[in-house]
């Protein structure tokens, strides 16, 4: 049976000056031929330079957000064609920090996804519940609604990756139990329009917990924040995925 692609994705968020490039270089060095897809999403300011640093490696590059318009009067924003032009093949959309810091709705995320596909980018679409929603027992309702509204018609394994990121697990060192991750991922798998769309888990993934999480059914990899900034940690996480 064919299974979805396995992906280790690093989200540097608003971290990294030029010196951070050495970490990417070390990562490429430690994984010259990874058996899983590896993706790094640096701040937009580092995209081109990271592309130069990683030239010849198999690590792919992604943006962390894009605008829904192709170009125009949107000061401070970045369009999908600009990301592609800078060397990105992927873009993260609907991360909970975008949803909370910038009030992004799922409808906005869907509009951005269409723009990203038009530019030839693969979208990494994030969904996840808050702790309050989990405590209320409405996790699957919230995630189902986010998925339905954020994913435009036409989402396939060729243009889309979905990441489950419980808001309360992001950057907190807390992770859901393995049973909680399994519940959400099996729900997502059945809700996806294409069963081959890779499903990533994100939220406090680190070298110690990665293997157990990646070994779960319907977990095809991880979207990693803090631990993707250090080559040693992210390298261990990639190895965990390769061996899960």
Active site residues: 95, 165
Residues 169-188 binding ligand PGA (CB under 6 A) are 170-171
CA atoms within 13 A on the CB side of 69: 7
| C-alpha distance from residue 25 to each of 19, 31, 212 (Å) | 11, 10, 27
Instruction: Report 201-240 residues binding ligand PGA (CB under 6 A).
Output: 202-205, 223-227
Biggest alpha carbon distance in the chain? 49
Interface with ligand PGA, residue 165, by CB under 6 A: yes
What's the angle, vertex CA 41, arms to CA 81 and CA 216, rounded to 5? 120
For residue 41, the minimal CB distance to ligand PGA (Å) is 9
The backbone torsions φ and ψ at residue 189, rounded to the nearest 5 degrees and listed phi first, read -60, -45
- The tokens for 201 are 């888990």
Indicate whether 10 belongs to the interface with ligand PGA (CB under 6 A).
Answer: no
Q: Does 94 bind ligand PGA (CB under 6 A)?
A: no
Residue 139 within binding range of ligand PGA, rule CB under 6 A:
no
Q: Helices then strands (H, E): number in the chain?
A: 10, 8
80 binds ligand PGA (CB under 6 A): no
Determine, following the binding rule CB under 6 A, whether residue 108 of this chain makes contact with ligand PGA.
Answer: no
Q: Which is nearer to ligand PGA, 117 or 234 (CB)?
A: 234
- Select the span of 64-72, 80-88, 112-120, 199-207 touching ligand PGA (CB under 6 A): 199-207
Is residue 128 near ligand PGA by the rule CB under 6 A? no
Selected range binding ligand PGA among 28-36, 76-84, 151-159, 198-206, rule: CB under 6 A: 198-206
Closer CB to ligand PGA, residue 8 or residue 121?
8
Q: What is the DSSP letter of 34?
A: -
Angle at 135 between CA 227 and CA 193, to 5 degrees: 65
Q: Does 62 bind ligand PGA (CB under 6 A)?
A: no
Q: How many whole angstroms separate alpha carbon 80 and alpha carbon 68?
A: 8
Give bridge partners of residue 39 from the DSSP assignment. 9, 60
**Which residue, 81 or 212, has its beta carbon nearer to ligand PGA?**
212
Confirm if 78 and 65 have CB atoms less than 8 A apart. yes
Task: Name the residues that contact ligand PGA, by CB under 6 A.
Answer: 11, 165, 170-171, 202-205, 223-227
């Amino acid at each position: 049976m064919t299974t979805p692609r396995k992906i280790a994705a690093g989200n540097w968020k608003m971290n990294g000056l030029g010196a951070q490039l050495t970490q990417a270089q070390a990562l490429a060095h430690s994984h010259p031929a990874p058996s899983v897809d590896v993706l790094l999403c640096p701040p937009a300011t580092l995209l081109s330079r990271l592309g130069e640093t990683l030239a010849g490696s198999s690590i792919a590059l992604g943006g962390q957000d894009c605008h829904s318009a192709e170009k125009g009067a949107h000061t401070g924003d970045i369009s999908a064609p600009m990301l592609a032009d800078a060397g990105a093949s992927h873009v993260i959309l609907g991360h909970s920090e975008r949803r909370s810091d910038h009030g992004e709705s799922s409808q906005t995320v869907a509009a951005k996804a269409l723009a990203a596909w038009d530019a030839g980018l693969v979208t990494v679409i994030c969904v996840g519940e808050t702790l309050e929603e989990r405590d209320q027992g409405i996790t699957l309702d919230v995630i189902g609604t986010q998925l339905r509204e954020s994913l435009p018609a036409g989402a396939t394994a060729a243009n889309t990756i979905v990441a489950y990121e419980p808001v309360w697990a992001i950057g907190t060192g807390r992770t859901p139990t393995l049973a909680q991750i399994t519940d959400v991922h099996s729900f997502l798998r059945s809700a996806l329009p294409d069963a081959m769309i890779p499903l990533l888990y994100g939220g406090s993934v680190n070298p110690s917990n990665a293997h157990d999480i990646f070994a779960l059914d319907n977990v095809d990899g991880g979207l990693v924040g803090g631990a993707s900034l250090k080559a040693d940690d992210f390298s261990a996480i990639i190895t965990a995925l390769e061996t899960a």
